[in-house]
Amino acid sequence: MTEDAFKLTSPDGATTLDLPVRKGTLEPNVIDIGRLYRDAGVFTYDPGFVATGSCASDITFIDGEKGVLMYRGYPVEQLAAQSNFIEVAYLLLYGDLPSKIELEEFDTSITRHTMLNEGMLSFFKGFRYDAHPMAMLSAVVGSMSAYYHDTMDINNPDVRNVFAHRILAKLPTIAAAALKLNMGQPFVYPRNDLNYCENLLHMFFAVPAEPYEISPIAAEALDLLFILHADHEQNCSTSTVRMAGSSGANPYSAIAAGISALWGPAHGGANEAVLRMLKEIGDKKNIAKYVEKAKDKSDPFRLMGFGHRVYKNFDPRATIIREMCHKVLKQLGRTDSPLFELALELEQVALKDDYFIEKNLYPNVDFYSGIIYRALGIPTSLFTVMFAIGRTVGWVAHWQEMITDPSGRISRPRQLYTGPAQRDYVEVSKRG
């Protein structure tokens, strides 16, 4: 990070500050305002962190205007076409693509950590049969801090490494346990002869009564979706993980906090909301009515799966997922999927609408992912869990980066206070 200076002059012209401009590998640069309060007595004000960089990071780069997304410098399009999720996970965690041996060792380690402590499985007996899988996921991941607390020395790189492998490996197993509870079926143990996505499909859909055949296109589609969801720099859930972790909290708790943040419909919960919205629209003839609803400021309805804080031209992940959606539906013989037809039509109508054009609202990563999940037989309530499985590696990579940053401090934003100025306490008997 080299430095330049940004001059800031107070309204009365009496004070001028030279604020350092930090330059990243790629633009935009940032103004370092760390000394602003000390030198000028003011804070910055930026609700929603629209123009605020919360940290420096080597992990993921996004250019929202150009629709660029890169993990550790590699364009996501190349990774989606040529890599696989486990390799991408290694890249995100360790910074470079692995050698053949490193990849094999990493893959083996992830495979060997997939089983849950049997005691953890008993948590699922406490949930109601219809508990939302995201609620179960955040609760059970949070409970991992109870299993791995005394041994969790966050200053020890080996301990951090085991944490990374363990959480990445166990997320699909926890998700499968939640799904099986919802379905009223027995839990299915992981199989070490299968790869990450095959094993996930096995745990989701196999039953003890008959053999289960894993569909290669289903495994391929999941692998792609996990690559595309793996990281997205300082989004809401990742920032939550960093913030929770910045206090030195147990990292399993920090990941559970990230899962909770992801659940909201403005973030990862959008994939579930998209499918519910498409079902509600129901028919192409209703599209115009729903587009009008989305534009009506007095109506809380929004077109789910549209818009993004950072992407203002297109979401590169949506482009890739749309193609995979075609492929999956074709291979599964579901080209006549009415929901897919409806989604395509809705996309076309919205893309031609002045409101959506003016506000740069385009389909995002969540618009088509749900249609793929649905085609694979994954229930709607599990869609955001699928997002969480992919995003966990990003959360862990950011947690690692945060915890090993020598300049790292507890996250502690300030505020613009708008409450009452000082007033004196009045005894209850004397209040009017």
Q: Which residue ranges make up the site for ligand CMC (CB under 6 A)?
A: 48, 235, 266-268, 270, 294, 302-309, 359, 361, 364-366
* Total residues found in the chain within this entry: 432
- Known catalytic residue: 165? no
Instruction: Give min distance, CB of 295 to ligand CMC, in A.
Output: 7
Is 366 annotated in the active site?
yes
DSSP label of 380: G
44/404 with CB nearer ligand CMC: 44
CA atoms within 13 A on the CB side of 44: 17
Do 71 and 92 touch, CB atoms closer than 8 A? yes
Which of 188, 262 has the CB closer to ligand CMC? 262
> From the CB of 314, what's the least distance to ligand CMC, in Å?
12
Task: Please report how close the Cβ of residue 213 comes to ligand CMC at its closest, in angstroms.
Answer: 32
Q: Which is nearer to ligand CMC, 279 or 309 (CB)?
A: 309
353 bridge partner residues: none
Is 246 or 364 the residue whose CB approaches ligand CMC more closely? 364
Place of tokens 């991992």: 144
What minimum distance in Å lies between the beta carbon of 365 and ligand CMC? 5
Residue nearest to ligand CMC (CB): 307
Q: Which is nearer to ligand CMC, 137 or 203 (by Cβ)?
A: 137
Nearer to ligand CMC, 178 or 270 (CB): 270
Complex with ligand CMC: residue 190 or 258, whichever CB lies closer: 258
Neighbours of 371 (CB within 10 A): 26
CA distance 330 to 312: 30
DSSP 26: S
Which is the catalytic residue, given 107, 223, 315, 366? 366
Set 113, 202, 232, 308: catalytic member? 308
- Taking residue 157's Cβ as centre, other Cβ atoms within 10 Å add up to 12
Task: Give Cα 75 to chain centroid, integer Å.
Answer: 18
Question: Could you tell me the smallest distance in angstroms from the CB atom of residue 350 to ligand CMC?
Answer: 8
Give the Cα separation of 391 and 225 in Å (integer). Answer: 10
Smallest separation (angstroms) from ligand CMC to the CB of 14:
36
Whether the CB-CB separation of 226 and 371 falls below 8 Å is answered with no
**Closest separation in Å from C-beta 12 to ligand CMC:** 33
Range list of H helices, 184-283: 196-205, 216-229, 236-245, 251-263, 270-281
140/120 Cα distance (integer angstroms) = 7
Tell which phi-psi region holds residue 414, choosing left (phi > 0), alpha (psi between -120 and 50) or beta. beta
Cβ-Cβ contacts under 8 Å for 420 (sequence gap 6 or more): none
β-sheet bridge partners, residue 306: 363
Question: Residue 148, Cβ neighbours under 10 Å: how many?
Answer: 17
For 216, residues 6+ apart whose C-beta sits below 8 A from its C-beta are none
**Residue 204 near residue 179, CB atoms below 8 Å:** yes
Give me the active site residues, please. Answer: 308, 366
